[in-house]
């Protein structure tokens, strides 16, 4: 017999081997080779199955090459082969071929849910003159204008326009007849002003752009103040930020008088003097779209300005 577990028989040099023992050794080796082959084939099949399952799961979670039917992006323009909008006097025309993802809540697994929509033909929207920053929004029922566009969590204090609530991935429209915010399937494609029946300051929603490493400086600059678009603020009024930016405040104090800025009902104390000495205080406060702010106290010779962020222009 053999001491090797793979073969049953071993042979002594010069001794005569028996044919049945030699054959038994070959049969034992053949069986072991076949056993190893079947094991290896099974292992390879299991590995391929695991790879295929992992690949299928990955495919379900990533956007396809056309960025359609995806659960990673929402509330955006996918394509605009003919542009987004054109303007003539008080009419804004939404261009044919404009493709959007309209936010529609969430799927059961927590991924965002959308309704893909394409504008089939040029659609004119006649706007009205007012003092607001209006918006153009698109729905499966047509294209319309609203008097404001908010992107925030809290319900806007100003009861007008269109509101995108991020935590729900839904868009609401304020109905003046019922005084309620009602969910609609819509996507905002542009903001504008209309004074004296002439549209101006049109800002279109940017088509979706996948970021690369070369975009890092642009990303950094998005959070920087755009000093070319500074807007003066009256400290005697209350406001709702319609875009991201910074609130700059500079004013002198008076004896025994507070100076406060109230952001989303949170009081920020700026300055106070308990002497007859005049003290000048300055500060800059970052704001998100939808943040509410107002002022309390005595602001002597104030300078109050809103400076938009570059990324929200």
Q: Which two tokens stand for residue 30?
A: 């053949």
**pLDDT value for 68:** 47
- pLDDT, mean over the chain: 84
Question: Rounded to the nearest 5°, which phi and psi values hold at 226?
Answer: -100, 95
pTM over 0.85: no
Lowest mean pLDDT segment, chosen from 66-70, 116-120, 253-257, 266-270: 66-70
Residue with tokens 């109905």: 175
Question: Rounded to the nearest 5°, which phi and psi values hold at 45?
Answer: -60, -40
Ordered strands of the 99-106 beta sheet: 76-79, 99-106, 112-118
The share of the chain scoring above pLDDT 70, in percent, equals: 86
- In which band, very low, low, confident or very high, does the pLDDT at 209 lie, cut at 50, 70 and 90? low
Lowest mean pLDDT segment, chosen from 4-13, 104-113, 191-200, 275-284: 4-13
Residue 142: left if φ>0, alpha if ψ -120 to 50, beta else—which one?
left
Question: What SS3 state is found at 61?
Answer: helix
Please give the distance of CA 11 from its chain centroid, rounded to a whole number: 77
Lowest mean pLDDT segment, chosen from 115-124, 211-220, 248-257: 211-220
| Ordered alpha helix ranges (H), the chain | 19-61, 216-222
- Give just the sign of the alpha carbon dihedral 80, 147, 247, 264: negative
Task: Tell me the C-alpha distance between 124 and 199, whole Å.
Answer: 13
């Amino acid at each position: 017999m053999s001491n090797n577990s793979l073969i049953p028989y071993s042979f002594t040099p010069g001794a005569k081997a028996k044919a049945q023992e030699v054959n038994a050794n070959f049969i034992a080796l053949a069986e072991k080779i076949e056993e190893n082959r079947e094991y290896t084939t099974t292992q390879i099949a299991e590995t391929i199955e695991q790879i295929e399952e992992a690949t299928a799961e990955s495919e379900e979670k990533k956007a396809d090459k056309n960025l359609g039917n995806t659960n990673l992006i929402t509330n955006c323009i996918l394509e605009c082969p003919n542009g987004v909008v054109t303007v003539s006097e008080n009419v804004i025309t939404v261009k044919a071929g404009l493709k959007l993802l309209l936010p529609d809540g969430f799927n059961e697994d927590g991924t965002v849910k959308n309704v893909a929509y394409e504008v089939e033909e040029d659609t004119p929207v006649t706007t009205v003159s007012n003092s607001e920053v209006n918006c153009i929004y698109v729905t499966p029922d047509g294209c319309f204008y609203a008097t404001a566009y908010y992107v925030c969590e809290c319900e806007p204090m100003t009861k007008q326009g269109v509101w995108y609530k991020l935590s729900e991935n839904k868009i609401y429209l304020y109905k003046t007849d019922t005084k309620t915010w009602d969910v609609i399937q819509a996507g905002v494609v542009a903001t504008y002003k209309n004074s004296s029946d002439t549209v101006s300051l049109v800002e279109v929603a940017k088509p979706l752009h996948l970021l690369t490493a070369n975009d890092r400086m642009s990303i950094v600059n998005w959070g920087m103040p755009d000093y070319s678009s500074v807007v003066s603020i009256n400290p005697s009024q209350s406001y709702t930020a319609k875009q991201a930016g910074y609130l700059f405040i500079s004013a002198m104090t008076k004896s025994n008088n507070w100076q406060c800025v109230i952001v989303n009902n949170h009081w920020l104390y700026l300055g106070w003097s308990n002497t007859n000495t005049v003290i000048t205080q300055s500060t800059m406060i970052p704001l998100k779209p939808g943040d509410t702010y107002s002022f309390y106290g005595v602001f002597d010779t104030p300078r109050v300005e809103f400076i938009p962020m570059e990324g929200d222009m």
